[in-house]
Structure 1
Amino acid sequence: MNLSKNIQTIAKETLLKEADAIKNVIDYIDEEFELIVNEILSMKGRLVITGVGKSAIIANKIVATLNSTGTPAIFMHAADAIHGDLGMIREEDLVMCISKSGNTEEIKVLLPLLKRTGARIIGMVSNPDCYVARHADFVIRAIIGEEADPNNLAPTTSTTVHMAVGDALAVSLLWARGFTSEDFAKYHPGGSLGKQLYLRVDDIYPKNELPIVQETDLVKDSILVISKKRLGAAAVVNTQNELVGIFTDGDLRRMLEKHDDFSSIKIGEVMTSNPKTINKGEYAIRALNKMRQHDINQLIVVDQQKQVAGFLHISDLLNEGIV
């Protein structure tokens, strides 16, 4: 072990080794990988993923990713399987065994028992000449050169590659199913991620006041409207009730810098023309992105006829937890 290296060098070398290993495994994505994807797509049962040690942890993560993207999957610990959990396996299932060596005792005991259930077996291994590769119906070759640790012992590169290949499998299945963001939202209804995928502008803005002024209204009168509605802005419309501008706190400050007497100034003279708007049926996350893009705190909500329907403020999005 080279003790002269500093921590930053070690960390960077570790990441480079793992990144190179992921790049190298691309060469092993072949026709058999595509066949496995199609087998999973057409299966009538579930994809059961098993492993021991660190492979079991990776298996759990892949199961979670698959379930969240539309592929029914469950985890079965290889050691628990031979003590009763094997009963969860059905003939119509596919079982994926994850193992770096492909020769662990638990897996070698488990595979013949899995064969008896009639379920087909997928092996994900880093060693192409192993027990699992020889006895599985399909093989995903997650081949690596060496682990990232100096002793080539700790599961580092191998677990990274297994997880990355699992992601490749999940995304391939997602793509093949035509899985959309709306589908994703069905499986992620909670938290900020779920809200980004289903919350719409018209779920939020009706809670707010609707400050509207005419472009011919005096500024001094309009200020009272803005103050009363407590949004820091007002939509400005013409006599046909068409949106022509917005008057904000910022517009008020700029006006006061230029005019000592504003008693006769009309809103149309000092408003901001062509205000940013958002359609009421849009996703709230798109409203947030628009606010960020233009560095503004509110959007005027419009309907299909481009008539003013309401206001959406950045604080609304903060309160909903999607920021």
Structure 2
Amino acid sequence: MEKEYTHIAKQVIDIEAKALNDLKNSIDSNFNEAVTTILKAKGKVVVTGIGKSGHIGRKIAASFASTGTPSFFLHPSEAIHGDLGMISKEDIVLAIANSGETTEIIRLIPFTKENNIPLISISSRPNSTLAQKSNIHISIGRFEEACPFNMAPTTSSLLTLAIGDALMVALMNGRGFNEENFAKLHPGGNIGKRLLDTVSDTMKTENLPFLDTNTPMIDVIYTINSGRCGLGIVGNVNDVKGIITDGDLRRAMNSTQKDFFNLTAKEVMTIKPKFISKVTKLIDAKNVMNSHKITSLLVGNTHQLDGVIQMHDINL
């Protein structure tokens, strides 16, 4: 019989959830001061830490850099062996050490003092050497590591990461960092596509399913099916009179029944269809379709049709 481990998972999550809640309640003016100091800085935020703190530090630095706060990670051992030259007097050092007594981190302090470089630290011990010699110290408080020996960095790593995320979001807010800014720093992948691509990048422009107002119903159905746009367009590129969707066909069939195939496009079409500009972001087009519970939009206006955009074309 296999051993059951789900109870361990729940214990770990309970321990870490309690620590996160305690951390939330302990946030004080030091956090505010750290954010304000970083916002005023002319240089970069140099994040440093060793071991698990270093791994978390790399993530924090990357998050800062991708959201408008120039930042990079500097390994403390490399720093004290020559890489201190990477830090300018306009920078800020963000040092992470759970104990606040990590030798490699402590050896960086004289350099920051001599060059008047603000030192912000994150640790669990407000009375530690690092905390006492920092300009600003953010404490992650007292907690229980989720490790059964209360030794392996588990809860401490999570709390440090949470502080890093909180700093990142606060800095985004302070800088007025918006989706357009975010997109410029993430041009690749789904994030860039969602925030940068416009309707014109995806819309269908060729072989659009046009219908005349007098088109008989059997030809209306054929044109909609062959057009693969989820609708038929009554009129032409310079004069759109309306559209016919599957919903229009179902409603007409239900109301007329036997007379359905005697109808023309004009008698079934929806006048004043919804249009969207070709420069509209894809995410905004998707939101419009969702809000109106439709799956297709005409691109342009009643006097100039540029194309058709469908929900299934927007791969976000």
TM-score by length of 1: 0.85
Q: Deviations over 1:138-192 (max 9, x none)?
A: 1111223111122111111111111111111111111111111111111011111
Letter in 1 for 2:281: Y
Matched, 1:317 2:308: no
Letter in 2 for 1:317: I
The count of corresponding residues between Structure 1 and Structure 2 is 313
Cα contact 2:67–2:177 (8 A) shared by 1: yes
CA distance in 1, matches of 2:207, 2:12: 55
Matched, 1:172 2:170: yes
Percent identity between the two aligned chains: 40
Give the match's secondary structure for 2:150.
coil
Cα contact 1:246–1:275 (8 A) shared by 2: no
Post-superposition offset of 1:40: 0.8
Letter in 2 for 1:130: S
The partner residue of 1:22 within 20, 23, 30 is 20
CA distance in 1, matches of 2:6, 2:163: 27
Taking the TM superposition and a 5 Å limit, the aligned residue runs for 1:139-150 are 139-150=137-148
Counterpart residue number, 2:54 = 56
Taking the TM superposition and a 5 Å limit, the aligned residue runs for 1:117-266 are 117-205=115-203, 207-227=205-225, 229-236=227-234, 241-248=239-246, 251=249, 255=253, 264-266=262-264
CA distance in 2, matches of 1:283, 1:262: 39
Post-superposition offset of 1:271: 4.4
Cα contact 2:248–2:270 (8 A) shared by 1: no
* Structure 1 gaps, min length 5: none
Q: Deviations over 1:10-50 (max 9, x none)?
A: 21221222222122112332222212211111112111000
Matched, 1:9 2:4: no
CA distance in 2, matches of 1:155, 1:284: 42
Q: Deviations over 1:250-294 (max 9, x none)?
A: 837984998678653212444467755544332212333444566
Cα contact 1:45–1:94 (8 A) shared by 2: yes
CA distance in 2, matches of 1:264, 1:56: 74
Counterpart residue number, 2:65 = 67
Cα contact 1:232–1:249 (8 A) shared by 2: no
* Structure 2 gaps, min length 5: none
Post-superposition offset of 1:307: 5.9
Cα contact 1:233–1:249 (8 A) shared by 2: no
Cα contact 2:275–2:300 (8 A) shared by 1: yes
Compare 81-90 and 94-103 and name the one that shifted more.
81-90
Cα contact 2:123–2:131 (8 A) shared by 1: yes
CA distance in 1, matches of 2:17, 2:279: 42
**Runs of 4 or more above 6 Å deviation:** none
Matched, 1:95 2:93: yes
Give the match's secondary structure for 1:205.
coil
Cα contact 1:246–1:273 (8 A) shared by 2: no
* 1:246–1:263 Cα change, 3 Å: closer
Post-superposition offset of 1:110: 2.5
Q: Deviations over 1:29-74 (max 9, x none)?
A: 2222212211111112111000000000111111111111100101
Cα contact 1:96–1:123 (8 A) shared by 2: yes
